[in-house]
Chains A and B, each alone.
Chain A
Amino acid sequence: MSAAEITSQEYIKHHLTNLSVGEGFMTIHLDTLGWSVFLGLVFIMLFRSVAKKASTGVPGKLQCAVEMVVEFVDDSVKSTFHGNNPVIAPLALTIFVWVLLMNAMDWVPVDLIPRIFELFGVHYMKAVPTTDPNMTFALALGVFALIIYYSIKVKGIGGFIKELTTQPFGHWSLYPVNFILEMVTLLARPLSLALRLFGNLYAGELIFLLIATIGLFQLPVHFLWAAFHLLVIPLQAFIFMMLTILYLSLAHEDH
């Protein structure tokens, strides 16, 4: 950091500004999009390379590691989702690994990537995509669309509307109240998914930035906070995946 030139407030604000093009709603955060697609490609390439060579014989070390992740996701899906749906497990795997990789960018020292890009004349660079609500809401809306799609597919439009109106109160005069309650429940799902991930990672990043402003003492504190993120980063990825599976399994349940 360069406290001599700018105040810590300006420093933090600078680090929390996205590299963007466009105005208003048409703005695109190039850094969020770029890093997330890059990390998504890392996931896809890595797993695809293993999938191409996957054999039933003695697996190599990389294959073992990838298979461990796949089996972990598969077990999580099987323990929660009892239907037969070929989308759920790959979706859960993509969410888990992608979110994990994006969260893991939090471990990269906060100044490293911005400084490197500054050498090339890029002045804003926010390298953790999950600290951008656009990223987390995109994931949550994708899941939400699948919730709606499977609810209607499994229960039919009538069944879905019935589910939204006839409970928890059985009497017809209370159906509007039921509908309001159920809509809140339904909408709270993507909202909580997106905000939980965003909030955790944004707060973590913010603390990293605060630590970076306290001078020489930042080294042990920084280490402690990064060590704490050993818990936060996989946990948030896991929670996002588990809740996705859970919500989709609820969408498949016919009352």
Chain B
Amino acid sequence: MNLVNAILVGLKEIWAHKFRSALTMLGIILGVSSLVAMSAMVQGMEKGLKEALVAIGGLQKIRVEAQPIPTDQRHLRDFATGVTLHDVRALLASAPEVDVVSPQMRLEPAPTLSANGKNYRTFMTAGVWPIEAELMEHTIAHGRLFSEVDNEQGRNVCVIGTTIRDELWGKPEETGEEVIPVGKSLNVNGVPFTIVGMFEHYESEQDHKERLLRIEEAARERALGPNGKSTRRNRGWGGGGRRGNFAFWVKNNTLYMPLNSMWMKLKSGQTNAPSEPRLSEMEIRIKDVDHMDLALTQIRNTLMVNHRGIEDFSFRTQEDWADQIQSSVRNARLSGGLIAGISLFVGGIGIMNIMLASISERIREIGIRKAVGAGGLDIFVQIIVESVTIAIVGGILGLGFSRAVVWLIGEVTPTDNAPIITVGAMLFAFGFSVVVGLVAGLFPAFKAARLNVIQSLRYD
């Protein structure tokens, strides 16, 4: 008996028991769709985390932060220099694995920014070299970045993130027009600075979509006029939207000014300011991620010499975070996959159950088929084909159903990261369902193939 015939016989058999087959398929449908949905959720989560990782500059970045002097070196504190521009120059000169070094001098506690009659305490105000913008993956959307000359001359210029604009001049999606404050004046702790540029708005793709939606909504509401009823209640402090991913939030809350401006206009005037400008941290980009260990050794050795052996600094790499992303994604994939896999397995047990019931109903038929010349293999193939056909049809329906499941999960528990259904996941789930059908059919098929002809012919 050829395979086409076997498949036709199998399909006929399934069609003859529509309701029973549909119930059996339901197990496979749910298994496949939950497998695809699980993978889509994890995929969405992974994408969100990776976007955040890229937003802060990727794996090649090492941050050197100033630290309090360790306890066993306290008696040497008079010799401690802190992280200074000397370190920057020394690293550029003597650590060959270092590509770019960007010093950063942060104003802490966070200063009050005031403009347009409003005040705002932003998350980060720092004096940096222009290279910092490149290192931190900042993009200027409006105006320009301050230049080396601005830095040399310590000019009162700054570049801001969109949240600062939102807080001082209003959000575009609420006011209806986008204020671009380039050229406007902004006071940092009372010292006037001119805004020369503004970064683009950083957000995950999901947030981007939602923001566009809010802009549309707001426009519709405004179109209704002041008498039109707003569908949204004012929540007092302009929150409402979700804060989104922390990495994006920090970037939007950044104010950069030239390093020299920070030192001369804001820091050196402070009481007990050290004579040498001290940095809060250095951002270092290394040439090759694969040489991370070598680079760390070079940086450490250089700094140790400069700091007279006093370890008043620490490293932070993104690798920890990347590892964390990997492991959390792996965990989610494993647990989700396991649960979905179990449900598919249960679907397989359903198939086996129904195939066993079906062959004990058809013992006489099998006897007749064998009497007219069907070999054990023919019967085996027939049962396997029926079982696999149920799995294939169930698998295809399950793939369609997975979209509904993803939508349902999204409705019930909205997440920051939109689930992504991948072709790979669909192929895997489908392939897995076929394998489940095959395995579930093996035992019933073997049993049917082994049936004794004479006894089956006499069976009623």
Note whether A and B form a binding pair.
no
Q: Interface on B for A, CB 8 Å cutoff?
A: none
